[in-house]
Amino acid sequence: MRSSLLTFRTAVSATLLLSLTALTTVVLADDAVVEPLRLSRTITRAVLSEEQAEGQGARVRRSIGRPELRNHDPFLMLDEFLVDKNGGFPDHPHRGFETVTYMLEGQFRHEDFAGHSGVIGPGDVQWMTAGRGIVHSEMPVFPDGDEGGERALTKAHGLQLWINLPKEHKMCDPQYQELLDSQIPRSEPQLGVAIKVIAGESHGVQSKVYTRTPTMFLDITMEPHKVVEQNLPLSYTGFIYMLSGKTYLGEKEEQFVGEAHNTLTFSGSDGVKETVRIETKEEAARFVFIAGQPLNEPIVQHGPFVMNTHEEIYETFFDFRNAVNGFERANQWRSSAN
């Protein structure tokens, strides 16, 4: 499929390559189709996330949001959470951003101050736009008793991503987009590469999730000895968070190794790099590929409140304490987890 131009990749500069491609396309117009050359972004760093305590008796591996991985506009936080029956995230508020919860194993029950509740299980996604205000609890659920015997699942495991909202959407009405595993579209660019398209687009397959902040969220599983190129818009920032196995990222000549629980951040596009090249060798791999349009707006964050100015944060404290301006229903509300 690919032309022998591939071998020029190393030596020739990006601009020269582009003009070469254009030239070749013209010359070979009646001949075989020449695919345009695509250059891979490189990896700027690899950071391992170790477990830390969070919430109530929960454990998380923090990716984005840890000290080495701050300022990943538009992303505020990514946690890989691991919660047993004694843990969870009881009643707490949010304002000014979105939380995306993606279950890997086990089940989580959410319950909010407006009477919205539900359970998400393996492969399901809850895309929550907090907007002007949500107060909710997020707690694992386990089947009763000892029925499961030794093989009973004792931990709920998943990912939670926090995406900042543009200024004009920070005070929008809260919204939920909930997708069961079976409702999430898949692409299979080749045998042995399976891509779940949670948000955005991959190899012609498009998610129906509405993103106020343009975002791609892919769950990619690769068998050993596969190569995939995942396109992303030139203006997006992005990263890979490795769940298991091993990947080799970037152009063949300057590959970074991605291992479990590591975050690998993408370089900028330099105006031309519209793809990320991902290869597996002896080991299979599973990872999430997350990218988005940076907002380039000031961020003032106080825990679960993320606004643009200090004044807006003071207003948020006031609104939450007095149960006004989006937090009305917080008055007297308690989840069943409390």
Annotated binding residues = 92, 94, 136, 138
Segment (H or E) for 320: helix 310-322
| Per-residue CA distances from 228 to 83, 234, 243, 244 (Å) | 33, 18, 17, 17
Q: Pick from 34, 79, 161, 274: which binds ligand FJE (CB under 6 A)?
A: 79
Query: Which CB sits closer to ligand FJE, 39 or 161?
Result: 161
Torsion 131-123-279-21 (CA) sign: negative
Number of CB atoms found within 10 A of residue 325's CB: 15
Shortest Å, Cβ 241 to ligand FJE: 13
Binding letters toward ligand FJE, positions 274-303, x by CB under 6 A: -----------------------------x
Token pair listed for 242: 């490795």
Is residue 64 a contact partner of residue 128, using CB atoms and an 8 Å limit? no
Query: Which CB sits closer to ligand FJE, 94 or 273?
Result: 94
If one asks whether residue 97 binds ligand FJE (CB under 6 A), the answer comes out as no
Q: Pick from 42, 43, 75, 89: which binds ligand FJE (CB under 6 A)?
A: 89
Binding residues for Fe cation: 92, 94, 136, 138
Q: Pick from 304, 316, 320, 330: which binds ligand FJE (CB under 6 A)?
A: 304
Q: Pick from 34, 39, 43, 60: which binds ligand FJE (CB under 6 A)?
A: 60
Query: Which CB sits closer to ligand FJE, 100 or 278?
Result: 100
Q: Please give the Cα distance from 41 to 101 (Å, whole number).
A: 27
Q: Which of 28, 152, 141 is nearest to 83 (CA)?
A: 141
Number of CB atoms found within 10 A of residue 193's CB: 19
Shortest Å, Cβ 138 to ligand FJE: 4
Q: Please give the Cα distance from 239 to 209 (Å, whole number).
A: 20
If one asks whether residue 55 binds ligand FJE (CB under 6 A), the answer comes out as yes
Query: Which CB sits closer to ligand FJE, 79 or 124?
Result: 79
If one asks whether residue 73 binds ligand FJE (CB under 6 A), the answer comes out as no
151 Cβ neighbours under 8 A, 6+ residues apart: none
Helix, strand, coil percentages in the chain from 3-state DSSP, rounded to 5: 15, 45, 40
Contact set with ligand FJE (CB under 6 A): 54-55, 60, 79, 81, 89, 92, 101, 138, 160, 303-304
